[in-house]
Amino acid sequence: MSSEINTPRLDWAGLGLLYLFFWYFSGVLQTLLLSTAGIPGFRSVFFMSFIWLAPVLLFPRWTRQLTAIIGIILWIPSVISLGYWGIYGNEFSQSVVFIMFETNREEAKEYLSQYVSISLFLGIIFYTLVAWLLWRRLRPVYLPRFYASSLAGIVLLTNFGAPYLACLTGNASFYSATEKLHGRMAPAAPWQFFIAYAQYNNQLNAVRKLLDENLSLPPLKNLVDTNGDKPRTLVLVIGESTTNARMSFCGYPRKTTPRLDALKESEELLVFCNVIASRPYTIEALQHSLSFANSEEPDRFFTEPNLMNLMKQAGYKTFWLTNHQTMSSRNILLTVFSRQADEARYLNQTRVQNETVPDEVVFEPFSEILSDPAPKKFIVIHLMGTHAKYARRYPEMYKKFTGRDHVPKVLSNNRAEVYNSYDNAVLYNDFVVSSLIDIFSKSQSYGFLLYFSDHGEDVYHTPPHQVLGRDEKQPTPDMFTIPFVLWMSPAWKENHSSDLSAFTERKYSNAHFIHTWSDLAGLHYDRFQPELSLVNPEFKTHKRWIGEQGRLRDFDQLFPKH
Ligand SMILES: [Zn+2]
């Protein structure tokens, strides 16, 4: 204890070792996840690991015992998380909890037994051995009481208190500050399970409330299915952040949609290039497209049946197949749709939206669903499409656009790279959508497949080539112009003889999509408005509103050339 007299001499190496020990249990996994999940989790863990220094600084005499106890508390969840990573390749998250409670236990067990391997087991042993060796080298760090308490206070306050600073200044609510804190704690052991479960529970309550409200809605009046009882399958593929301004089938000079181009040329595919989204954000846009809500009457989403209700009422067995993250407060409405479906499959189990799960994961479950014996099937497939980070959306072999051809000259090399990665993501999306058409076609199903993207994205495309992403307050055309394509099975085409190719130039807001879908599916009811159907002879040009309620703007007035 002689070192603590007078001036405090900090044993930096000892302190560093202690920190390394605590960091180890979350840091190893976050380091492994760096290439897929990126820096945020790594950063959170870097800061969160400091909190464990507090007890050992306050009670240095008990360093060995304290570190042993904390070590075990951190080790157990970290091994589970690492094992999970070893098997599934991503992080344990609220989405995983959701899937655990939603899917068939037997299936999960089978999957697990298939992947628990000797190398995973040896990896865990090695990981544990390193932790134990680290622990053996730990030594107490003695500081005068005042310094020790101050340091302990600082690490605890900065980690747990910082998010609440914004509350004091009135810039955030207590709730949002707590959400932020949970976000920081989520990647770190041992919090991941508690946070994951709490987040799951919160979302589920919100989902239940919306579902209850939806259940109490009256059905659509006088619904008639003009296709009668003939067995059929209708597929709706919803893309993500893809603008038609970057697709060669709508005139983009780079060949980013070669497979769909070919289908268009052989007249198997109808391509509509003048369709826009009403909002540049997933939930808001889909809320309009998949219900009777629109820019002027957004509340109709809650007060009237939605597309799922309509299809179920029409006697379809409904399926929801998604590669989107399942559980986040942003995605509640998507979860509601999936819960309304008779069957839902969740293929993305990540904690944050932009992690890597290429869209081709939907192929196999799609094929399985197509062979379901139900006579009338409605299948929704929600893709990750070309969501940022674009370079994470496609496998290496789709990295085709790398040079400067057709890249705006003003872009720096870094921006040109982002520009190129978006085109590569569009190219991969072309493979995904055309493959879905191919799978559907080969299944000999009677029906059609329709693909649109929820909204667009501007990736340095609109002059002066400064904008990346989407912002409704500073709109550019690329944020709204979306791909909209229709593939019909040969027999369906024959039985529905009206030539739709005359309508492909129509200017349409996808906020009214439910009318187009109803029309294509042959569903008529009191609410149905033929003048809002893109494929109806009675179609009338309408104002294409964009923006939020109260701040609506006319897209065609803003961008007369589109
Ligand atoms: Zn979106």
pLDDT string in tens for the chain (562-residue length): 444 445 557 889 999 999 999 999 999 999 988 877 778 889 999 999 999 999 999 999 999 999 999 999 999 999 988 888 887 677 777 666 666 665 545 545 555 555 667 888 899 999 999 999 999 999 999 989 999 999 999 999 999 988 888 888 877 888 888 888 888 888 888 888 888 788 777 777 877 888 888 888 899 999 999 998 899 999 999 999 999 999 999 999 999 999 999 999 999 999 999 999 999 988 889 999 999 999 999 889 889 999 999 999 999 999 999 988 765 656 777 888 888 999 998 887 666 555 567 899 999 999 999 999 999 999 999 999 999 889 989 999 999 999 999 999 999 999 999 999 999 999 999 999 999 999 999 999 999 999 999 999 999 999 999 999 888 888 999 999 999 999 999 999 999 877 899 999 999 999 999 999 999 999 999 999 999 999 999 999 999 999 887 889 999 999 997 7
Measured in Å, residue 455 CA sits from the centre of ligand 1 at 6
Calculate helix-pair angle for 258-265, 413-442, nearest 10 degrees: 50
DSSP single-letter state for residue 220? P
CB 431 within 8 Å of CB 358? no
Measured in Å, residue 125 CA sits from the centre of ligand 1 at 42
Q: Tell me, what's the pLDDT at 116?
A: 64
Residue 142 φ/ψ, nearest 5 degrees: -95, 130
Distance CA 114, CA 559 (A): 55
Q: Which residue has the tokens 């040079």?
A: 403
Measured in Å, residue 282 CA sits from the centre of ligand 1 at 3
Distance CA 197, CA 86 (A): 21
Measured in Å, residue 347 CA sits from the centre of ligand 1 at 17
Partner residues linked to 232 by β-bridges: 376
Measured in Å, residue 332 CA sits from the centre of ligand 1 at 14
Instruction: Find all residues with CB under 8 Å of 162, minimum gap 6, and list them.
Output: none
Measured in Å, residue 322 CA sits from the centre of ligand 1 at 13
Q: Tell me, what's the pLDDT at 525?
A: 96
Distance CA 312, CA 384 (A): 25
Measured in Å, residue 386 CA sits from the centre of ligand 1 at 9
Residue 262 φ/ψ, nearest 5 degrees: -65, -40
Measured in Å, residue 325 CA sits from the centre of ligand 1 at 12
DSSP string for residues in 39-101: HHHHHHHHHHGGGGHHHHHH-GGGHHHHHHHHHHHHHHHHHHHHHHHHHHSS---HHHHHHHH
Q: Identify which of 339, 337, 335, 313 has the alpha carbon closest to the alpha carbon of residue 325.
A: 335
CB 198 within 8 Å of CB 502? no
Q: Is 353 exposed, middle or buried (0-12, 13-18, 19+ CB in 10 A)?
A: middle
Q: Tell me, what's the pLDDT at 2?
A: 44
Measured in Å, residue 550 CA sits from the centre of ligand 1 at 22
Instruction: Find all residues with CB under 8 Å of 469, minimum gap 6, and list them.
Output: 388, 457, 458, 459
Measured in Å, residue 281 CA sits from the centre of ligand 1 at 5
Instruction: Find all residues with CB under 8 Å of 185, minimum gap 6, and list them.
Output: 44, 48, 191, 195
CB 180 within 8 Å of CB 163? yes
Q: Identify which of 83, 153, 156 has the alpha carbon closest to the alpha carbon of residue 115.
A: 83
Q: Tell me, what's the pLDDT at 270?
A: 97
Q: Tokens for 66, please give them.
A: 């304290």
- Helices (DSSP H) in 341-455: which residue ranges? 363-370, 413-442
Distance CA 303, CA 213 (A): 9
Q: Identify which of 55, 49, 43 has the alpha carbon closest to the alpha carbon of residue 23.
A: 49
Full strand arrangement of the beta sheet holding 376-382: 343-348, 317-325, 376-382, 232-239, 447-453, 481-488, 269-276, 508-509
Measured in Å, residue 46 CA sits from the centre of ligand 1 at 31
CB 287 within 8 Å of CB 303? no
Measured in Å, residue 241 CA sits from the centre of ligand 1 at 5
**In Å, how far are 136, 471, 476 from 467, measured between CA atoms?**
53, 9, 8
Measured in Å, residue 240 CA sits from the centre of ligand 1 at 5
Q: Confirm whether pTM is higher than 0.95.
A: no
Q: Tell me, what's the pLDDT at 541?
A: 93
Q: Give the Cβ contact number of residue 203 at 10 Å.
A: 22
The dihedral built from the CA positions of residue 326, 327, 330 and 334, taken in this order, carries a sign that is positive
Strands 458-459 and 468-469: what pairing? antiparallel
Residue 450 φ/ψ, nearest 5 degrees: -120, 135
Measured in Å, residue 38 CA sits from the centre of ligand 1 at 20
Measured in Å, residue 454 CA sits from the centre of ligand 1 at 5
Distance CA 328, CA 179 (A): 11
Measured in Å, residue 286 CA sits from the centre of ligand 1 at 8
Measured in Å, residue 376 CA sits from the centre of ligand 1 at 28
Distance CA 516, CA 288 (A): 13
To the nearest 10°, the Cα dihedral for 116, 120, 126, 127? -90
Q: Give the Cβ contact number of residue 427 at 10 Å.
A: 24
Distance CA 279, CA 367 (A): 32
